[in-house]
Amino acid sequence: MSATHLPQDETLARFAAGTLEPATRLVVAAHLEAAPQARARLALFEATAGTLLDTLPPTALSDDALDRTLALLDAPPRAAARPAASRKPPRHAARLPAGVTLPRALADCTVGRWIWVGPGVRWSRIGIPGVAHANVGLVQVAPGRALPEHGHGGKEITYVMSGAFSDASGRYGPGDVCEADPEVEHQPVADARDGCICIIAMEGALRFRGLLGTLLRPFTH
């Protein structure tokens, strides 16, 4: 798998700084597994961040810093976490076609069952541990089918797990990332032979047009 479309530099810089929304961060992490070019770019941002930290002047500790540290040492120990072997495994209910696997970035997430939302379109909600309302999920689009035309109330980022789709900005194949902002309105169309399966994260509500858009709206909030 060789990605052609990579995340924007701003997105990678925010990933390096840890300031991305959890849903968007999950999609970028999935993409990084398949895109060595993006990992190389990320390494540059991480190195730059480290250099900037080295140039910052030292910050004086507060007068009570030592007392607070000693108080932590005297505090009773927290209950130990359950061993990994005894934890309940995450629920991955959405069955994928043969040869298609979830990225490792989703290993601790829950993946809900497929929900029919329109002709040739299915949606599965992804749950991120510790995040109450992560607006992220899998979408599967049948060959030649189109998602409803829509705009964006915030950032949308899509990672192609398998197959491909096209819109006015180009064609996106396995490993690619497509980013859209509030100025973009598009209508992705799945590959005529393989369709597509993608992970999509949204930082704002989508603005749909048409009947299929009305059906999709409850699953994208």
Q: What pLDDT, in 10s, does the model give residues 114-165? A: 999 888 999 999 999 999 888 899 999 999 998 877 665 668 899 999 999 9
Q: Is residue 189 within 8 Å of residue 146, measured between CB atoms?
A: yes
The three-point CA angle 55-59-60 to 5° equals 155
Q: What is the mean pLDDT of residues 29-56?
A: 80
Query: Where is pLDDT greater, at 203 or 194?
Result: 194
- Output the pTM of the full model: 0.76
Q: Write the CB contacts of 21 (distance below 8 Å, at least 6 apart in sequence).
A: 201, 203
Does residue 90 carry a pLDDT above 80? no
Does residue 211 carry a pLDDT above 60? no
Does residue 77 carry a pLDDT above 70? no
**What is the domain range of residue 131?**
1-58+91-221
b/e code 134-172 from CB counts within 10 Å (16+ = b): bbbbbbbbeeebbbbbbbbeebbbbbbbbbbbbbeeeeb
Does residue 82 carry a pLDDT above 50? no
Residue 45 within a domain: yes
Q: Is residue 188 within 8 Å of residue 146, measured between CB atoms?
A: yes
Give the rounded distance of the alpha carbon of 211 from its chain centre.
27
Please give the share of the chain, as a percent, with pLDDT higher than 70. Answer: 69
Cβ burial, residue 175 (10 Å; 0-12/13-18/19+): buried
List residues bridging with 170 in a β-sheet: 167
**Amino acid 52: pLDDT:** 44
Residue 66 within a domain: no
Residue 107 to residue 126: CA distance in whole angstroms: 11
Residue 46 within a domain: yes
Residue 146 within a domain: yes
Query: Where is pLDDT greater, at 154 or 71?
Result: 154
Q: What is the mean pLDDT of residues 86-96?
A: 75
**Amino acid 79: pLDDT:** 41
* pLDDT band at 53; cut points 50, 70, 90: very low
Return the CATH number at 215. Answer: 2.60.120.10
List residues bridging with 92 in a β-sheet: 111
Residue 73 within a domain: no
Residue 135 within a domain: yes
Residue 75 within a domain: no
Residue 18 within a domain: yes
Q: How many domains does the chain have?
A: 1
